[in-house]
Amino acid sequence: MDLSEIECEQALRQIELYLDGELAGLERVDVERHIGGCSDCYGHSQFMSRLKEMLRDKCGCHDVPPGVAERVRALFAERGDPSITA
């Protein structure tokens, strides 16, 4: 493995910022590259992306309430399944 590549743990933390468009430059490139080569993190990014869309549609605002995101994340971690598609 290339030492310059970021780890899953780091990627998972960055994915949310990435989806919010808050990453720029190298950080963004690193996350994109990681997602492109890691099915687990790719699944997670797809899940998070859908989740954000869902919540956005529901509340009609552009920010997911922090409490909700935390609860869903906990649920997600409990299941330990990064490939949830429902």
Mark the segment that binds Zn ion (CB under 5 A) among 8-16, 20-28, 46-54, 73-81: 8-16
Does residue 38 bind Zn ion (CB under 5 A)?
A: yes
**Choice from 5, 8, 77, 83 touching Zn ion (CB under 5 A):** 8
Q: Nearest distance from residue 17's CB to Zn ion, in Å?
A: 15
Task: Report d(CA 63, CA 54) in Å as an integer.
Answer: 11
Does residue 41 bind Zn ion (CB under 5 A)?
A: yes
Q: Judging by beta carbons within 10 Å of its beta carbon (0-12, 13-18, 19+), is residue 27 exposed, middle or buried?
A: middle
Residue pair 52/64 in contact by the 8 Å Cβ criterion = yes
Structure tokens of 39? 């099915």
Q: Nearest distance from residue 40's CB to Zn ion, in Å?
A: 5
Interface positions with Zn ion (CB under 5 A) = 8, 11, 38, 41
